[in-house]
Structure 1
């Protein structure tokens, strides 16, 4: 169930820099296969609307009602801001909506949504069937027998299948008997279903099944559901005594599938809290309240005292991350404490160095972990009260570390200035043919390490390094500084925007002029959706971290993971399109502190322009804050806010100044499997039906071949990997006919599972 919900919600993902949010995700289900679990989905997905007879209490209605609801004209149907509604259409196929002339009048109000929204479909454009969702490499990737008997049993068991832990279904070939077994005697599951909704279970079960259930409960659990009732059952469940412990274990595996059990446990809690404290929701809530109060109180303590207190709190509350309530999202502060504890450990280590190089080395090895932990602690919470509590803890733990790091770098930069323009050659900044530069605005170093970690998980083998951002650390200065056309750019006056100019003609470097310089240097300028010609050079831009930071400020932390995934997806797309190398660069990092960075005064009349952390000083004006040479013209001075201060009050997210977070920026290089693999190449691919023949040149007996939808993702495999014979041949067989006509990639894998060669293909041949 959780995977289905994630997949439906992922259908709403879009590139915020290049498209508007979809109006809705259309879920077509021509055979109404998913209808048996639609009711459960409605409880878990408040954004789910359903086509059917008018039943507003279940968010169900005809097409015209759905259209009106999506337009926001029905006060009784509320969709949270920023959430894309999902529209479930039982007995409707995508083809029905696409053929406007043949579309029934009753459905025509929905036709236009195909173009303003998106459809939840398989990669090949077909509707998601239950069978396809279980077996597809793009979803659960389970090994399912493809025959009519298995398909029938699967659909009959869907309500039970939806709440079955995925781990119980992996590692074996699922056949009719496996799905039938889900309907057979399973006492822990039956007890939980009954506790979750006793009336519905009694009504749905046959007389014989109810009788058998009572008998098993009596014999194995010393409990009669009819005579004792749900409240007594919940009390026994929470006590976890004897044979009730396996029932609790099953509940703990998938508590979200039995949401009403929590309410019963709340009512059944004994007065003696010493009995199985972790079982009762009130126990967890009181612990969360206590932790919230103690974290909030840290705001006025010293860093040393705060570190000691966080370590004590971790000893007390860390265990709650293993409680069932944490899995249900009811222990966000216990989760945040994990990251605060890590922050305390890293922040307590000495940080500095004798030179800007030593400081940068220390920051890129371990120092960035402080920033990473601070973001993760806030990402773990949602409510304003919890956000305030964690912010209070960060004021004591994180702010002093930020101030020390910034002050130390600024002091060292007085002795050895941060490099200015043309310190790196164009050759070092450029790429060879077959290479593309991916510019990601505001990709801070700690966030880049999340990205490289995800790349390593996918076997992509990234190489990570760093460089100094241009000062001031704003996009107008920093973006051209990491481009391959720096030799064509110079600086006159920073003006009010810190924008350089072109060497030829001296005109201000606008976006259009920058792109023309790239084109003249032999670089294709690609939109976020384009992949271009991978035999040439390329420049493309993606990601909206900086935009999100300015919009969400202290709440940025909750959006970091999504931004990392979008960048990862862009890198994968470029590699899959045939680029030999992708180099990820950025213009600047940023300072971030929930509750606000400190303020320092700088009079308006002394400046041409004043930003959060930097300012352009008027000619002949003297300011009482540090100044630094402008990156593009060392003769021009730029004012920088000292330490981590800002020239404006209340700034939680800011950049423009000099600090490790703003100025030490990542450079990530990823080579395609073909480029990394040396002499191993795929010479030929042939198809006979669903059998794929592959000829590999330069192969040895340690290599294997596999068909995937994503080069670096083993979970996207469409078949088992196969060995290569003495002359380089391998044969792959697909079982899923639904994949025919879809795009795929033949991948050659080495002994470690890393891809060393790749070639795109169409399943079944073109």
Structure 2
């Protein structure tokens, strides 16, 4: 596609070639007069982008082939060494500020060009065929038949923006003829809506950044298209026009909506602008949004003590009133947290209208795992949107008004059925599948498991989520060993903690020893192990964060889930065929605190630190719900009824009997399409620092050698190799300092995911 710069370059080169070859020698130079100096940006572009050997009259700068007339004569005559001027091309002598007539007038011409006058006889002059000097407008019309309007704004902007016009295709320029000031100004500000916003955000800085030429174009656009002059009207006028969203300002507002964070000063500018009596667009004004947030805050606080049905109706009404604000720009700037929380509160209001409690434990568990977990999710998501204390108080009031009794009734129905017909639960030792790693997450409740499943699916993983029942009490000490593949090796011990067959307390070191005895690898936080075997690893701090932060836990969950997701994907990338996510227990979360149930301390053997359960003394009697400890049926556990707690003030707790604590997710995660293909890396062979590898079943895949299999930045090879049909490739490690270091040979699919790997020692056969 031919640009204007191409056309000018072609015209000048054609002028150099335009001489009578039969009786004339080639010109020693082509002189280019430019009395107005308007071609200066073009001359620079021709020299830098087109390689045209242009010598410019001006201040001495040999690096730019610029200098006084005597210097130019020396360049043309070839008397200066090492100039870099091509020997086989005719130079162009550009004369800004001087006309053809002045050049012709040898005797009375300007002194700076007098030494060059003689060159016009041995060279040629680039000018219009009528003898006049080329102007840009004249060239456009004569060479390209492109007309321009003759007003002063157009003439000025044509000169100011010629460098930008040079980059435009000829076809595009012709489509805009006759060229006018508006078109030329748009070249300087192609995204004029953004430029207006940038200027409003930082007026002085933007004016200085634009420079005189672009500032002139900017002013022209603002005056002709947007009805104000940034120089005389100022930012305050622009703010009034922006908030009015009238005519073209509606487009500027939409541009602001796209990325308001890029203009951090604009909200303050609008807040400092008086609100009109009847604003046409409420969403333009942060003051209105602030007032509506305050109204919503007060309405939620007023729900304290309200009947449940009335509270639900009020929340749904508030959603109709405030829901639209989530699409306002102020919501994107984090100034509408309650409007976002309200979305989930309204969801909670609808969910808690469903009272299908009761049924068998299996029926209630399925109902919770498939449906009722969404109520917990709504509570968590509502809390996640609020940070300030006054907002948290408002959301807490609403949650307690519509959900506390519903949650209590749900837990009570579950407890009643469990106590009447407790499910059978057994400890057992079992073997994970080959190529399977068990990833334990402490406190992965069902709603959080669903969020993890969704994240993994978005990352291209295949997930199967099922549920299982935790054991009682739902604590880490009791329930974590029960989910491990060595549970059959444990028995009841003291303080509600199981022991091994040797009597060792089933804490971390003892449990890991048992795993290793069963040929199950124990992986560290960043370990990958032998992907051909079986493994156990742990990830995440959800439970600890819950105990430490209470109802502020939701703010930490996205980071926790991101960490767990990354670990799962890294394990799959490292070559594990399957990651099975398991957990010990869920938890209750009620902002404002779980209601307290009294417990006689004389009945229990452990006096403090247990909120939802207590181990009873032998022969003690109580009216509280009572179950046997999973690891020793002779030990009795008292449970806090419903969603109450034996200790006051706890917002987060577990250990008791409720669907949230007991019905927990298990997620089997595999790679998506192509990951199930079984690939085998044969024993590698090193010849010096070149590794010869054969991979069966991997045609079209890529092989790399890395220090960390999941991190492409740790590649040690010169180039990755694509596996041919026969499967044989060789890779060179260029850094001999790596010899003797452990690394991983990895096979990557078309998306760069690791599908299998094998350990190797660099340079060691």
**Do the structures match in fold with TM over 0.5?**
yes
Kindly state the Cα deviation for residue 339 of structure 1 after the two structures are TM-superposed: 1.1
* Counterparts of 1:722 and 1:238, CA distance in 2: 57
Tell whether 2:521 aligns with 1:524. Answer: yes
* Counterparts of 1:516 and 1:350, CA distance in 2: 47
* 1:431-510 to 2 correspondences below 5 Å: 431-492=432-493, 495=494, 497-502=495-500, 504-510=501-507
Kindly state the Cα deviation for residue 350 of structure 1 after the two structures are TM-superposed: 3.4
8 Å Cα contact 1:193/1:201 also seen in 2: yes
Residue 557 of structure 2 corresponds to which residue in structure 1? 560
Residue 175 of structure 2 corresponds to which residue in structure 1? none
Q: Quick one: structure 1 residues 220 and 683, their matched pair in 2 at CA, closer, same or farther if it must change by over 3 Å?
A: farther
8 Å Cα contact 2:704/2:721 also seen in 1: no
Residue 621 of structure 1 corresponds to which residue in structure 2? 620
Which one of 536, 541, 544 corresponds to residue 539 of structure 1? Answer: 536
* Counterparts of 1:759 and 1:537, CA distance in 2: 15
Residue 663 of structure 2 corresponds to which residue in structure 1? 664
Kindly state the Cα deviation for residue 366 of structure 1 after the two structures are TM-superposed: 1.2
8 Å Cα contact 1:421/1:632 also seen in 2: no
* Counterparts of 2:409 and 2:705, CA distance in 1: 48
Residue 341 of structure 1 corresponds to which residue in structure 2? 346
Residue 380 of structure 1 corresponds to which residue in structure 2? 385
8 Å Cα contact 1:459/1:755 also seen in 2: no
| 1:161-201 C-alpha deviation (Å, 9 max, x unpaired) | xxxxxxxxxxxxxxxxxxxx997532111111111111222
Which one of 360, 367, 382 corresponds to residue 365 of structure 2? Answer: 360
* Counterparts of 1:452 and 1:540, CA distance in 2: 18
Residue 322 of structure 1 corresponds to which residue in structure 2? 327
* Counterparts of 2:293 and 2:323, CA distance in 1: 11
Tell whether 2:581 aligns with 1:584. Answer: yes
Q: Quick one: structure 1 residues 182 and 507, their matched pair in 2 at CA, closer, same or farther if it must change by over 3 Å?
A: farther
Kindly state the Cα deviation for residue 675 of structure 1 after the two structures are TM-superposed: 8.9
Q: Quick one: structure 1 residues 677 and 182, their matched pair in 2 at CA, closer, same or farther if it must change by over 3 Å?
A: farther
8 Å Cα contact 2:188/2:217 also seen in 1: no
* Counterparts of 1:711 and 1:637, CA distance in 2: 49
Kindly state the Cα deviation for residue 534 of structure 1 after the two structures are TM-superposed: 2.1
Kindly state the Cα deviation for residue 310 of structure 1 after the two structures are TM-superposed: 1.5
* Counterparts of 2:363 and 2:187, CA distance in 1: 61
Tell whether 2:512 aligns with 1:515. Answer: yes
Tell whether 2:636 aligns with 1:637. Answer: yes
TM value normalised by structure 1: 0.66
Residue 124 of structure 2 corresponds to which residue in structure 1? none
8 Å Cα contact 2:592/2:651 also seen in 1: yes
Gaps of 5+ in 1: 1-180, 687-692, 715-720, 731-741
Tell whether 2:206 aligns with 1:201. Answer: yes
8 Å Cα contact 2:189/2:195 also seen in 1: no
TM value normalised by structure 2: 0.67
Kindly state the Cα deviation for residue 652 of structure 1 after the two structures are TM-superposed: 0.3
8 Å Cα contact 2:188/2:214 also seen in 1: no
8 Å Cα contact 1:435/1:536 also seen in 2: yes
Tell whether 2:574 aligns with 1:573. Answer: no
8 Å Cα contact 2:572/2:754 also seen in 1: no
Q: Quick one: structure 1 residues 621 and 760, their matched pair in 2 at CA, closer, same or farther if it must change by over 3 Å?
A: same
- Superposed CA RMSD in Å reads 3.8
Kindly state the Cα deviation for residue 729 of structure 1 after the two structures are TM-superposed: 11
* Counterparts of 1:524 and 1:760, CA distance in 2: 16
Kindly state the Cα deviation for residue 416 of structure 1 after the two structures are TM-superposed: 1.5
* Counterparts of 1:213 and 1:551, CA distance in 2: 55
Tell whether 2:429 aligns with 1:426. Answer: yes
Query: Larger relative CO (CA 8 A, sep 6+): 1 or 2?
Result: 1
8 Å Cα contact 2:710/2:754 also seen in 1: no
* Counterparts of 2:187 and 2:350, CA distance in 1: 47
8 Å Cα contact 1:378/1:387 also seen in 2: yes
Q: Quick one: structure 1 residues 519 and 651, their matched pair in 2 at CA, closer, same or farther if it must change by over 3 Å?
A: same
Report the secondary structure of 1:205's partner residue. Answer: helix
| 1:726-760 C-alpha deviation (Å, 9 max, x unpaired) | 98999xxxxxxxxxxx99965436xxx89794558
* 1:208-357 to 2 correspondences below 5 Å: 208-357=213-362
8 Å Cα contact 1:472/1:631 also seen in 2: yes
* Counterparts of 1:707 and 1:512, CA distance in 2: 36
* 1:84-95 to 2 correspondences below 5 Å: none
Q: Quick one: structure 1 residues 622 and 353, their matched pair in 2 at CA, closer, same or farther if it must change by over 3 Å?
A: closer
Kindly state the Cα deviation for residue 553 of structure 1 after the two structures are TM-superposed: 0.5
* Counterparts of 1:261 and 1:284, CA distance in 2: 15
* Counterparts of 1:748 and 1:546, CA distance in 2: 36
Q: Quick one: structure 1 residues 675 and 668, their matched pair in 2 at CA, closer, same or farther if it must change by over 3 Å?
A: farther
* Counterparts of 2:582 and 2:444, CA distance in 1: 8
Q: Quick one: structure 1 residues 529 and 706, their matched pair in 2 at CA, closer, same or farther if it must change by over 3 Å?
A: closer
Report the secondary structure of 1:584's partner residue. Answer: strand
Q: Quick one: structure 1 residues 712 and 520, their matched pair in 2 at CA, closer, same or farther if it must change by over 3 Å?
A: closer
Residue 18 of structure 2 corresponds to which residue in structure 1? none
* Counterparts of 1:599 and 1:532, CA distance in 2: 47
Kindly state the Cα deviation for residue 510 of structure 1 after the two structures are TM-superposed: 3.0
Report the secondary structure of 1:466's partner residue. Answer: strand
* 1:680-759 to 2 correspondences below 5 Å: 746-748=747-749, 757-758=755-756
8 Å Cα contact 1:459/1:754 also seen in 2: no
Moved more, 313-322 or 432-441: 432-441
Moved more, 721-730 or 230-239: 721-730
Kindly state the Cα deviation for residue 699 of structure 1 after the two structures are TM-superposed: 7.9
The structure with the larger Rg is 2
Kindly state the Cα deviation for residue 508 of structure 1 after the two structures are TM-superposed: 3.0
Q: Quick one: structure 1 residues 189 and 441, their matched pair in 2 at CA, closer, same or farther if it must change by over 3 Å?
A: same
Report the secondary structure of 2:247's partner residue. Answer: coil
8 Å Cα contact 1:433/1:536 also seen in 2: yes
* Counterparts of 2:320 and 2:542, CA distance in 1: 35
* Counterparts of 2:576 and 2:672, CA distance in 1: 10
8 Å Cα contact 2:709/2:744 also seen in 1: no
Q: Quick one: structure 1 residues 510 and 206, their matched pair in 2 at CA, closer, same or farther if it must change by over 3 Å?
A: closer
| 1:618-663 C-alpha deviation (Å, 9 max, x unpaired) | 1222123111011112222111100000000000001110001101
| 1:103-142 C-alpha deviation (Å, 9 max, x unpaired) | xxxxxxxxxxxxxxxxxxxxxxxxxxxxxxxxxxxxxxxx
8 Å Cα contact 1:379/1:557 also seen in 2: yes
* Counterparts of 2:340 and 2:728, CA distance in 1: 51
8 Å Cα contact 1:468/1:663 also seen in 2: yes
8 Å Cα contact 2:373/2:446 also seen in 1: yes
* Counterparts of 2:358 and 2:724, CA distance in 1: 56
Q: Quick one: structure 1 residues 278 and 682, their matched pair in 2 at CA, closer, same or farther if it must change by over 3 Å?
A: farther
Kindly state the Cα deviation for residue 573 of structure 1 after the two structures are TM-superposed: 2.0
| 1:526-563 C-alpha deviation (Å, 9 max, x unpaired) | 22122222222221122111110011011111001111
